[in-house]
Structure 1
Amino acid sequence: MTDNTNHSQQADIKAARSLSAIWLVPLVALIIGGWMVYYQWANQGPEIQIEFESAEGLEAGKTKIKARNVDVGEVTQIRLKKSNDGVLVSARMNKEAEHLLNADSQFWVVSPRVSISEVSGLTTLLSGPYIELSPGQSNKTKTRFTGLEEPPVTPQGTPGLFVTLNSDDEFAYGRGDPITYKGLTVGKVEDIFFNIEERVVYYNAFIEAPYHQLVTHNTRFWNVSGVRLELKSDGISVHTGNVETLLTNGIAFGVPDNMPKGERVTERAYFDIYPDYEKASEARYKEEAHFVMLISDTVRGLNVGAPVEYRGLPVGKVKSIDMSGAELGNILNEDYRIPVLFSIQPGRVGLPDNAEGLDHVKVQTRKWIKQGLKASLQTGNLLTGAQFVELQFYPQSTQGSVERFDDYLVIPAISDEFTQITQKVSAILDKFNAIEMNKLATDTQQMVTEFTQTAKTFRQASADFSQLSEDLDTRQLTANLNRTLSQLNQLLRDYGADSQTYDGLNRTLESLNRMMRDLKPLIMQLNHTPNSLIFTGAEEDDPEPQAKEPQS
């Protein structure tokens, strides 16, 4: 049912009241909020982005960015890179840290690290990892950085000198390995780069001030890793660095003895790393003349790098043994001679270390060969058996012509005294081995048999003599001997001084003396006139010499 009642009443219109005071509260809050937003916006630092390979240990809104252990920023967001080869960390820096964002500033994650050379980041075991900021020195700024996977060995801004070292040997170093000077650690290896084309390892190293002033153009770097035991021709040597290099690898440097210090290095320079100090010291000699000696004896114990000496003074090094490509025939031939290539360095013999000194050595050596210069292998150490080459003059065995081998001048080789003695002993042993041992054994056996037969005969003769001795009547022999002695005593008594026999013998001797006196005149006459017994006549006096009468 429709209500058609007409209402003719009209609404009452009243004037609106003024704004209520309640609206002042949100207005004030809005103003305060706007002011806070403006203040925050006006005082906040720049936003930066840091690329890392991994976000391990990092959390948005929690991980801090620190410089010298002072908070200078905070991680706000972590997301993967579009290339999926790392993460992109966004961080808001404090306003007062804006001047630290140099183009060469470095960022890395600080977390617990334990290695042979150091232990770091242990404080993060409780507080958690954080990002460390190391300000750079560049005048330019930027907001996108690439983070380091490991802390830098040397903080930026540290005074000192960067050098690049290279090595093609089989020893290698790692980041943080020490560089020492006389046992004192003065620097470290920063990073490593391997050149595939050159096949050489390059090491960027930093030497701290004030020790960087020790680096000159004559400085040499050499390996001092661990403990190195060398068996050389002059004995056994042990080389070590400091305690740190015993656990890790290490490099030492210095100017070799008897070399000038040279000019200081003021900017990055390149140096070679030598295996040891000896080779680093020998690097001063640039020129060397090469010669060959042909060895008929063994070369066991002779190594490449063995010294060449003249009267005990080093003059060169052995360069090669049994040179490849040498056409000397079959190595198994008895007359095969082993070629040994060695050098003589002009700088070691008192000549200039240049081309002029090198030519002088070559010309002079040719004259020395004609004067009897010989080369021989000598044993430097009986324990190791290491050998070296010795040069010496032997004027009694001079050589008229000069021989060449493979375009090298040949210095005649002779055997050393020990080898000569060995050869003589070998000759004696060869003669001994040449003896027919079967015949000698047969003769010896026959001699022993004859000696045994002689011994049996001797024993039989001894038995016969013993039997003969037993058969003799000892009592009868004694009685006969006593009877003979009695007869001898009786005979002696018969010829005693008081016996008749003695008196008769004296009378006979007296008669014989008288008869000899009577016959004496007759004997004298016969001596004077032997024919007086046949012819008789007056005796004539002996003629007497008369003086010549004087003439009237």
Structure 2
Amino acid sequence: MRNDNEPLQARVEPVSSWSKVWLVPMVALGIGIWMVYLELSQQGPMITIEFQSAEGLEAGKTRIKTRDVDVGTVKEIKLAPGSEGVLVTARMSQEAESLLTEDASFWVVSPKVSLSGVSGLSTLLSGAYIELSPGSSGQTATQFRGLDDPPLTPAGAPGLHLTLSSGEEFAFSEGDPIIYKGLTVGKFENVYFNYAERMVYYNAFIHAPYHLLITRNTRFWNASGIKLDLGAEGISMHTGTLQTLLTNGVTFGVPDHLPAGDMITERSFFHIYPNAEKASAPHREFSQDYLVLMEDSVKGLQVGAPVEHRGLVIGEVLAVNMPMQDMPAFLDRSYHIPVLLALYPGEMGLKDSTEGREQLTTQMDNWISQGLRATLSMGNLLTGKQFVDLQYHPRLAPEQLVSLSDYRVIPTIPGDFSQLTQKLTALLDKFNDLPLEQLSTDTGQMMNSANNTMEGLQTTLSKLNSLLTDVEDKQLINQLTHTLAGLEGLSADYASDSTGYGELRQMMRRFEQTMLQLQPLLQQLNQNPNRLIFGGAVKEREPQAKGNSND
């Protein structure tokens, strides 16, 4: 029997180490590991994109898209080392891994309004996103530099890349159009200025199939703004498209005097001409330089101004007032302004070659000795632009051939406008030399004297008028008296009972008898007018009607 004061003894029984309760967390852990593995296996690589700004981007929200399909999500945004930009870390999808090549492009798509158009309107509600443009390289990458603006030409787009250059006073910007017959066929991609050459270079792209139009003889020219032409038919205006009116643009074509040429298949260089006229002008490789020393004002004469002969362009102006040695100072009376000209043998009917240039040199010496002279002429009265005109003046005294600084000098004569100015100046000088004050004083005195003379003459004429009036009245009365007396005598002589009246009646009777005697003669003369010429022996035969010869 057990004592109540004795402590109870616990019965120790061995417990099993496995419990069915552990199945639940183990199953949950397995499912979690499977889900993590599945998630990690479906995720793409983590990439880093460097942007100038994080405007419009949010970690965990901003999507990365290509062709409007989500291919990634922004996970983190932080400043780049040195605070020169921001680093955007994004997780890409597994499907996008093949798109992450080293030449892939990323840029932020947001609402944007420009002269070229409106883009990114869909992001007004959904927010900005990052656009991925796949490249063509076979090398993969995870570090990228984002673009500030979307590329104008997608990678791999069919077409032709060109490099255009311009040294003129006009410039183009990225996105400006390239136009052909009113159609936008390409755009400027980027601009580069070469400081050493002082030239602007443009990388441009021509979309397919218009790139087939680019040949070796293609020329580009500026098509911006409005062009006004003042011709014989009036004023004409030429414009490009609305976009070229607001911004800038170029167009291209093949000049009429050139064949189409071989098609361009790789990047090539082309020059942008200022207008269609200069683009269509024949390209001359050979020229001969000449110097003219102008006495007239060269205001309005610019570099590039034409050199003409009888209205035909044979050269251009290369420099105005070019620096030369052994020349007097500008303000010296004997200073002549040196103007350098370039004459093209190809424009003067000679070959565009070294042989043609030598022939031009020989002929110019002969022409100068025969009276060839250079003068400045007004090309446009509205703008005041001048050009150099070469004309023959055989009446002028021949001049010796002169060279200055290895340039042959063409003699000059004053231009028509300068000659007119000189004549007007000489006329004004003569007018100024007239003694106008003395002439005015003498004229005043003469007018006073003439006034006094006129007053005296008026008094004399008044007196003479009174005298003549009296004389005329008296003479008129005497003449009327004598006239009336003569009429009375004549009336008395020819009264019905006077002697004169009887004599007049007798004379009228004799005249009537004479006319009666002449009446037979007049009738014969009326019938035979030739009687006075042939006398009575000639008797005109009456014309007889002739019948038909067969009768």
- Is the TM value for this pair above 0.5? yes
Query: Does 1:409 pair with 2:408?
Result: yes
> Residue 453 of structure 1 aligns with which residue?
452
What whole-Å deviation, never above 9, does each CA across 1:370-418 have from its counterpart, x for those lacking one?
Answer: 2222222222333333322222223333625212333321222233445
Structure 1 CA distance for aligned equivalents of residues 448 and 174 of structure 2: 87
Structure 2 CA distance for aligned equivalents of residues 462 and 82 of structure 1: 119
Structure 1 CA distance for aligned equivalents of residues 27 and 122 of structure 2: 46
Given that 2:63 and 2:72 are in contact with CA atoms closer than 8 Å, whether structure 1 keeps it comes out as yes
Structure 1 CA distance for aligned equivalents of residues 472 and 172 of structure 2: 111
- Cα offset, 1:63, TM superposition: 1.2
Aligned residues: 487
- Cα offset, 1:108, TM superposition: 0.9
Structure 1 CA distance for aligned equivalents of residues 473 and 370 of structure 2: 92
Bigger mean CA offset, 380-389 vs 182-191: 380-389
- Cα offset, 1:367, TM superposition: 1.2
> Residue 69 of structure 2 aligns with which residue?
70
Query: Does 1:148 pair with 2:147?
Result: yes
Taking structure 1 as reference, are residues 343 and 236 closer, same or farther at Cα in structure 2, changes over 3 Å only? farther
- Cα offset, 1:218, TM superposition: 2.9
What whole-Å deviation, never above 9, does each CA across 1:485-539 have from its counterpart, x for those lacking one?
Answer: 999x99xxxxxxx9xxxxxxxxxxxxxxxxxxxxxxxxxxxxxxxxxxxxxxxxx
> Residue 156 of structure 2 aligns with which residue?
157
> Residue 293 of structure 1 aligns with which residue?
292
Taking structure 1 as reference, are residues 238 and 299 closer, same or farther at Cα in structure 2, changes over 3 Å only? farther
Given that 1:161 and 1:267 are in contact with CA atoms closer than 8 Å, whether structure 2 keeps it comes out as yes
Structure 2 CA distance for aligned equivalents of residues 362 and 477 of structure 1: 98
> Residue 102 of structure 2 aligns with which residue?
103
Structure 2 CA distance for aligned equivalents of residues 44 and 486 of structure 1: 155
> Residue 260 of structure 1 aligns with which residue?
259
Given that 2:222 and 2:250 are in contact with CA atoms closer than 8 Å, whether structure 1 keeps it comes out as yes
Structure 2 CA distance for aligned equivalents of residues 265 and 242 of structure 1: 26
Query: Does 1:250 pair with 2:249?
Result: yes
Query: Does 1:395 pair with 2:394?
Result: yes
> Residue 81 of structure 2 aligns with which residue?
82
Query: What is the letter of the counterpart of residue 340 of structure 1?
Result: V
Bigger mean CA offset, 55-64 vs 14-23: 14-23
Structure 2 CA distance for aligned equivalents of residues 18 and 264 of structure 1: 87
- Cα offset, 1:484, TM superposition: 13
> Residue 225 of structure 2 aligns with which residue?
226
Taking structure 1 as reference, are residues 7 and 69 closer, same or farther at Cα in structure 2, changes over 3 Å only? same
Taking structure 1 as reference, are residues 475 and 46 closer, same or farther at Cα in structure 2, changes over 3 Å only? closer
Taking structure 1 as reference, are residues 91 and 475 closer, same or farther at Cα in structure 2, changes over 3 Å only? closer
Residues 58-207 of structure 1: matches in 2 within 5 Å?
58-207=57-206
- Cα offset, 1:242, TM superposition: 1.8
Given that 1:219 and 1:254 are in contact with CA atoms closer than 8 Å, whether structure 2 keeps it comes out as yes
Query: What is the letter of the counterpart of residue 292 of structure 1?
Result: L
Bigger mean CA offset, 298-307 vs 470-479: 470-479
Residues 138-537 of structure 1: matches in 2 within 5 Å?
138-227=137-226, 240-282=239-281, 284-325=283-324, 327-332=326-331, 336-397=335-396, 399-417=398-416, 419-468=418-467
Identity of aligned residues (%): 52
- Cα offset, 1:213, TM superposition: 2.0
Taking structure 1 as reference, are residues 454 and 130 closer, same or farther at Cα in structure 2, changes over 3 Å only? same
**Which has the higher Rg, Structure 1 or Structure 2?**
1
Given that 2:224 and 2:245 are in contact with CA atoms closer than 8 Å, whether structure 1 keeps it comes out as yes
Structure 1 CA distance for aligned equivalents of residues 45 and 303 of structure 2: 64
Structure 2 CA distance for aligned equivalents of residues 276 and 413 of structure 1: 31
- Cα offset, 1:366, TM superposition: 0.7
Query: What is the letter of the counterpart of residue 117 of structure 1?
Result: S
- Cα offset, 1:243, TM superposition: 1.5
- Cα offset, 1:127, TM superposition: 0.6
What whole-Å deviation, never above 9, does each CA across 1:105-131 have from its counterpart, x for those lacking one?
Answer: 111111111112121111111111111
TM-score, normalised to structure 2, is 0.78
- Cα offset, 1:443, TM superposition: 3.4
Given that 1:223 and 1:275 are in contact with CA atoms closer than 8 Å, whether structure 2 keeps it comes out as yes
3-state SS of paired residue (2:452)? helix
Structure 1 CA distance for aligned equivalents of residues 190 and 283 of structure 2: 28
- Cα offset, 1:439, TM superposition: 3.2
Given that 2:296 and 2:415 are in contact with CA atoms closer than 8 Å, whether structure 1 keeps it comes out as no
Structure 2 CA distance for aligned equivalents of residues 25 and 154 of structure 1: 58
Given that 1:369 and 1:398 are in contact with CA atoms closer than 8 Å, whether structure 2 keeps it comes out as no
Taking structure 1 as reference, are residues 187 and 460 closer, same or farther at Cα in structure 2, changes over 3 Å only? same
Structure 2 CA distance for aligned equivalents of residues 473 and 435 of structure 1: 53
3-state SS of paired residue (1:294)? strand
Given that 1:232 and 1:386 are in contact with CA atoms closer than 8 Å, whether structure 2 keeps it comes out as no
Bigger mean CA offset, 88-97 vs 189-198: 189-198
What whole-Å deviation, never above 9, does each CA across 1:79-102 have from its counterpart, x for those lacking one?
Answer: 222332222212111112211112
Given that 1:235 and 1:380 are in contact with CA atoms closer than 8 Å, whether structure 2 keeps it comes out as no
Structure 2 CA distance for aligned equivalents of residues 194 and 477 of structure 1: 111
Structure 1 CA distance for aligned equivalents of residues 81 and 439 of structure 2: 98
3-state SS of paired residue (2:390)? strand
Structure 2 CA distance for aligned equivalents of residues 471 and 144 of structure 1: 133
Taking structure 1 as reference, are residues 256 and 9 closer, same or farther at Cα in structure 2, changes over 3 Å only? same
Structure 2 CA distance for aligned equivalents of residues 475 and 51 of structure 1: 132
> Residue 537 of structure 1 aligns with which residue?
none
Query: What is the letter of the counterpart of residue 125 of structure 1?
Result: L
Bigger mean CA offset, 239-248 vs 329-338: 329-338
- Cα offset, 1:132, TM superposition: 0.7
Taking structure 1 as reference, are residues 283 and 58 closer, same or farther at Cα in structure 2, changes over 3 Å only? farther
> Residue 531 of structure 1 aligns with which residue?
none
Query: What is the letter of the counterpart of residue 304 of structure 1?
Result: V
Unmatched 5+ residue regions in structure 1? Answer: 491-497, 499-552
- Cα offset, 1:178, TM superposition: 1.1
- Cα offset, 1:203, TM superposition: 2.0
> Residue 549 of structure 1 aligns with which residue?
none
- Cα offset, 1:453, TM superposition: 3.3
Query: What is the letter of the counterpart of residue 261 of structure 1?
Result: A
Structure 2 CA distance for aligned equivalents of residues 477 and 195 of structure 1: 112
> Residue 53 of structure 2 aligns with which residue?
54
Given that 2:115 and 2:243 are in contact with CA atoms closer than 8 Å, whether structure 1 keeps it comes out as no
Given that 2:60 and 2:73 are in contact with CA atoms closer than 8 Å, whether structure 1 keeps it comes out as yes
Bigger mean CA offset, 119-128 vs 228-237: 228-237
Taking structure 1 as reference, are residues 281 and 14 closer, same or farther at Cα in structure 2, changes over 3 Å only? same
Query: What is the letter of the counterpart of residue 367 of structure 1?
Result: N
Taking structure 1 as reference, are residues 422 and 389 closer, same or farther at Cα in structure 2, changes over 3 Å only? same
What whole-Å deviation, never above 9, does each CA across 1:430-455 have from its counterpart, x for those lacking one?
Answer: 43333222332233234323332332
- Cα offset, 1:47, TM superposition: 1.6
Structure 2 CA distance for aligned equivalents of residues 194 and 142 of structure 1: 31
Given that 2:324 and 2:405 are in contact with CA atoms closer than 8 Å, whether structure 1 keeps it comes out as no
Unmatched 5+ residue regions in structure 2? Answer: 490-498, 500-551
Bigger mean CA offset, 300-309 vs 121-130: 300-309
Given that 1:81 and 1:87 are in contact with CA atoms closer than 8 Å, whether structure 2 keeps it comes out as yes
3-state SS of paired residue (1:383)? coil
Given that 2:99 and 2:134 are in contact with CA atoms closer than 8 Å, whether structure 1 keeps it comes out as yes
- Cα offset, 1:53, TM superposition: 1.8
Bigger mean CA offset, 136-145 vs 26-35: 26-35
Taking structure 1 as reference, are residues 234 and 167 closer, same or farther at Cα in structure 2, changes over 3 Å only? farther
- Cα offset, 1:420, TM superposition: 4.0
